[in-house]
Amino acid sequence: MKDKNKSGEIGPITPKVRRREAFRIRREAALFQRDHCLPDHLCNGDEDLFPNKIGNFSKGLPHNYLGEVDLNAYNAFIRALTTGNPDDFEAIPLGGDLKLANPQAAYVFDLVGPDSHQLGIAIPPAFNSAWQASEMAELYWQALTRDVPFAAYDTHPLTCAAASDLSKFSDFRGPKDGEKVTTGTLFRGNTPGDLKGPYISQFLWKDIPFGATTIVQRYRTALAGHDYMTSYQEWLGIQNGSSPSSSNVLDPITRYIRNGRDLSEWVHRDFSCQGFLAACLILLSFGQGALDTSNPYLHSSTQDGFITFGAPHILDLVAKAARVALETAWFQKFLVHRRLRPEEFGGRVHNHLTGAASYPINPELFHSSVVGEVFSKFGTYLLPMAYPEGCPAHPAYPAGHALVAGAGVTMLKAFFNESFVIPNPVVASSDGLSLLPYSGPSLTIGGELNKLASNIALGRNTAGVHWRSDGIEGLKLGEKVAIKILEDYVKTYNEDFSGFSLTKFDGTTITIE
């Protein structure tokens, strides 16, 4: 009997040709990524310069009474990283209950975008440099000013003192007004948009349209005045991997982010791409005028974007970029830099100034008034932490939050109109209980996305768990990750599409086509 069923497939090419085209696109994308020049992955040399490893991350391994790592344990750590053998990772001696945070992620391969080992990053500050000293001073000041409302920065004695003090460092690389750090540049990022308007991005304040509901961005935060790891024994125990003796005391009232402590707690609890998915939903609520002018559906009389150039497309790429960014960060963290965390450096400062040890810390730090301010308040020279457990169990450089931020906002810039002026901007009240109208210079999508990236990257500094350079350089590397992913995807669309255009963090404009 004759089969009455017929193929229902139509289209411009046959299934066999389609299969060949799919293979060609994937193969050419792989070749494109393969043929890029490989960078030299250079580090600051601290690991070789200091035999006792005082310039390197070692949290969770066993330490002596100075907080210096047991060298046998550190060598086992290096052996595992060198071989990549899972059994060698299981043989690393730990000092307590804390486990290392996924070091084998440094070896994972991905099928989209750049390989995690393919992109380079600047060399971070050396342990004994003036640059490192200035970054530590900034972190001490950020710890002391966590409870100062951003709205009070211009007049509060502590923020005024911080700006004046940081201006004296010979190699402080935060933003300045002329040659001076001011209360208007204090603790801000270095991107275009960071210095315009309120400290916090509109995307961390405005309501988030979330399906059939709306998320009001009032969050649980920690109570004022609760700082941690300022006792030496507590600090030492946590370096050895012990659990903290206390936990964050949370404010029972939810608040809009209004100070450094609130921002610290936001980046304590967020999931990897949370801020950028939320920003995407806010941007989509602004309507077609907020879309990038290259969107092929803006001028179509018969079609709208959806799976391509619509919400599912953008949300997917934001989330996809986050994981590739973290893979890239983990390679740099574990296999290149192994940079110590600020809390570890704080222990070096304390032991040096109390005479328990002698370390080659740049003297500019000891000329800063902030060192005495910290000792006067807490009785040690340790860095007061916003989190009882301190930093996570992976090296500092670069910051994972920063790479995700750099990748996430770069994806959003590729799909949205960066010059679009954000309607009805707001600013949080000093108590964080309400949003007030903002009446300063116009705020654009591009500027506020840059600010969002810096808020999330440098918010980890406010908590004490990262350095400024971890965040600033991490943003740039995350940006590279997103651009490489877009280079893979730009050839995959059927629409008449001129390419993705966006402004990088350094202010230059590129088109990916």
With residue 500 as reference, give the H or E element that holds it.
strand 500-503
For 309-358, give the DSSP string: BSHHHHHHHHHHHHHHHHHHHHIIIIIII-BPPHHHHHHHHHHHHTTS--
Structure tokens at 273: 């791409």
Region 52-79 average pLDDT: 98
Output the CA torsion sign for 383, 385, 389, 392: negative
The whole-number pLDDT of residue 8 equals 87
Residues 149-163 have pLDDT tens digits of 999 999 999 999 999
Residues 353-374 have pLDDT tens digits of 999 999 999 999 999 999 999 9
Angstrom distance (rounded) from CA 433 to CA 440: 21
**Cα-to-chain-centroid distance, residue 144:** 22
Secondary structure in 3-state letters for 161-178: HHHHHHCCCCCCCCCCEC
Region 295-307 average pLDDT: 96
The verdict on whether 394 is a catalytic residue reads yes
* pTM check: above 0.85: yes
The whole-number pLDDT of residue 5 equals 77
The whole-number pLDDT of residue 3 equals 59
- CA distances to 229, 231, 331 from 382, rounded to whole Å, are 7, 8, 29
Region 445-463 average pLDDT: 98
The whole-number pLDDT of residue 36 equals 87
The whole-number pLDDT of residue 2 equals 55
- CA distances to 166, 412, 417, 431, 464 from 287, rounded to whole Å, are 43, 15, 11, 32, 39
Residues 80-112 have pLDDT tens digits of 999 999 999 999 999 999 999 999 999 999 999
Residues 380-430 have pLDDT tens digits of 999 999 999 999 999 999 999 999 999 999 999 999 999 999 999 999 999
The verdict on whether 401 is a catalytic residue reads yes
Average pLDDT, the chain: 97
Angstrom distance (rounded) from CA 379 to CA 373: 10
Angstrom distance (rounded) from CA 34 to CA 322: 21
Catalytic residue chosen out of the listed positions 117, 337, 350, 401? 401
Q: What SS3 class is residue 79?
A: helix
Angstrom distance (rounded) from CA 35 to CA 37: 6
Output the CA torsion sign for 245, 251, 255, 258: negative
Residues 208-247 have pLDDT tens digits of 999 999 999 999 999 999 999 999 999 999 999 999 999 9
DSSP summary character for residue 509? E
Catalytic residue chosen out of the listed positions 63, 117, 337, 394? 394
147-150 long-range Cβ contacts below 8 angstroms, 24+ apart: 147/224, 147/225, 147/259, 147/260, 147/261, 148/259, 148/260, 149/258, 149/259, 149/430, 149/431, 150/198, 150/199, 150/200, 150/258, 150/259, 150/260, 150/428
Q: What SS3 class is residue 90?
A: helix
